[in-house]
Chain A
């Protein structure tokens, strides 16, 4: 790498590619350093399915409208106010245009399959999923003349007084391990794959976490930036964590290990005790809380227990449920105390009140006289075979990140904007997402701030 680039992009996911394309389109020379090998390029973006964008009217792919105001309200709700309002509103406003911009970069949206019924209102789906989307972005970047290197992990950054000078590569490229560039866009994701780092905040429990996405997001870039004076944002224990199948691989199991059967049954811990209201809210909305709930249980394991009457009510699963003709047999297979599980289920069944079941609304099927209660969709578990899924916390992504402004420019401790460093995507998601999660917002953050970061970096470099 003897050549000096205008813009150096570290990372290879949605945020990085949007930045690279936008910088290149603004006339800059661009180098992308992706730490992963080619097949694993694109980090967690490979595993995504959709993106949340505001729009004022229905389109071919979306029923509408989903106004900026409504998007903002949804964000406020999930974050409980832990969001930078100015940045968040800016992102939401920009998201409108992203719907079209991303198509101009070759990404295709999935048209409606069975008439308007299957259309979403808030989220657009990538045709073929996140990897298809990434492939399109890479094709476009290559056609535009962006240089891309794989297996190009950055191990160090030279930064002086808030000014990026060069990046150090783990392996030499053309005999050199140092890459110099006029500006930097950091888009290297979060640190969810760095178990040691997670342990600093979660303790030993983190050993039992499963990482749903790429093993390459180890947060090394984030750590270097914070160590070199970039302002930090967000809480290191806040992350998007769901309950996923305990039989899933440690890393990269992706979307297919999830379970959405909680509302149809009960969830017990390794002592066969229930610990939270399974009927608190509509599943997609409360989906993200179960990772944390399970993380707080002994040995970070729990079991979703239901019976044969509901097996076809939720998405087919990768791993089959564990089955027993009696509660005791099921308990045996799960290595739970049979008497304790029988007691929990008997007490639960006795507490179930009559009602009209409807899993699409907060219905009136609830329990009375037990703690925790199940406030909706409570039905007796009594028709064998009894079934269970073992679940563990599955970490999706972390929120601790670098502080940025509306130009996606990093802010240094003390508030001074960096001379030439920008950040986009998961590495700065904490600015918008202090906690909680609204489906599809990870892609919005990456695309909006990636596009801005690329444009601004190009402008900065060519000044």
Chain B
């Protein structure tokens, strides 16, 4: 017996698939499944987080509905995955945030934005908020750099802590195989598999989205989103280093590294999320975890808002709109940080951990 109804269903499906195995060439889920005959809750959560939702095993399955065996692996694993995020959430009291994720995120975002605007206005006179500021340190006329760093530093640390605690719980639940932390090859393999989204390709043809014709668009948009995010993150890091190491204050010229990284990343974070949203919109409902659609959408929207406000700030930073735009941008980024551990963001981390484990298992098997 399993902890939840969906894990019970996942167990039933894995039993069907294990006696079939036609899909073993499609992704990592099936070979990982074949290494087991019985499935604990942790095993099922591991398999669920290995799935990239490419849809191939649904389109290819002779037992998908309306067949009486009713095999729908992508959807079942999607629900199991979403439930696993909540199960590992830290602190436990916030697990419920996943369920009402769309609402929670919009509330937090709205609150954060309002706080920043209000904060600026209260800390200075409204004239500062709407005034024109240029040159190094312009941003800090609105909010002193130290205050900004403190605020974001805390939010960031909190996010890291909560994420780390969640991953620890996941790690324990799926049962870490011997020698996992010291297996560098497995780690490198997993980094490569995650970096190129190896398993979001339906075994080579592409992802199945709106019908049985595979395309590679979801993968492409996901790449835009992920690498866009990574570039923006890099821009922030470089900016911080500039500030503390070189004593160079933002805003930087358009050709300066933080701006270049941030602009490229921002563009990626516009193209990627819009693409992902459009794919999501078109996706065959039979593959979708309807209940958690809001969680996915909310996270994608937050990324999109982050990039749009950031780019807008870049464009209009020398006008009177700078103050409000900065407040808006900082508010969104702040909300993004503190909601990260309670939303779709975690999928990347759990999937990566699952990939590390898979790479390790494969290596152990090949050596035995």
Contact = CB atoms under 8 A, between A and B. Distances in A.
Given A131-B60, A256-B16, A318-B16, A113 B24 contact: yes
A131 B59 CA distance: 8
Nearest to A108: B204
A130 B10 CA distance: 23
Contacts of A220: none
A384 interface: no
A229 interface: no
Contact of B22 (A111, A135, A255, A317): A255
Contacts of B56: 128, 132
Contacts of B23: 128-129
Contacts, number: 77
A49 interface: yes
B49 to A, nearest CB: 21
Interface string B49-60: 000000011011
Given A114-B366, A316-B15, A47 B62 contact: yes
Contacts of A39: 66-67
Contact of A46 (B19, B62, B212): B62
B203 A128 contact: yes
Q: Chain B interface: which size bin?
A: 20 to 34
B312 interface: no
Nearest to A253: B69
A78 B56 CA distance: 36
A39 B60 CA distance: 11
B68 interface: yes
A39 B70 CA distance: 13
B60 A129 contact: yes
A254 B60 CA distance: 14
A111 B204 CA distance: 11
Contacts of A125: 25
Contacts of B37: 312, 316
Nearest to A255: B20
A128 B366 contact: no
Nearest to A46: B62
Interface in A214-253: 249, 252
A315 B62 contact: no
A170 interface: no
A254 B25 contact: no
A139 B212 CA distance: 9
B25 A111 contact: yes
A279 B57 CA distance: 36
Contact of A256 (B19, B68, B213): B19
Given A127-B204, A252-B67, A114 B24 contact: no
A129 B22 contact: yes
A110 interface: yes
Nearest to A47: B62
Contact of B31 (A113, A128, A132, A316): A113
A350 B109 CA distance: 77
Contacts of A130: 22, 62
B61 A131 contact: yes
A284 interface: no
A115 interface: yes
Interface in A94-149: 108, 110-111, 113-115, 125-132, 135, 139
A317 B18 CA distance: 8
A200 B359 CA distance: 56
B213 to A, nearest CB: 6
A317 B16 CA distance: 8
Given A113-B25, A114-B365, A115-B366, A128 B16 contact: no
Interface in A21-69: 39, 46-47, 49
Contact of B18 (A47, A126, A255, A316): A316
Given A108-B203, A108-B205, A312-B37, A132 B59 contact: yes
Nearest to A39: B66
The 10 closest A-B pairs by CB, nearest first: A129-B22, A128-B60, A132-B60, A110-B25, A256-B19, A46-B62, A316-B18, A318-B19, A256-B20, A127-B25
12 contacts: A39-B67, A113-B24, A125-B25, A128-B26, A129-B23, A131-B61, A132-B22, A132-B56, A135-B59, A255-B20, A256-B16, A256-B19
Interface of B: 15-16, 18-20, 22-26, 31, 37, 56-57, 59-63, 66-69, 202-205, 212-213, 362, 365-366
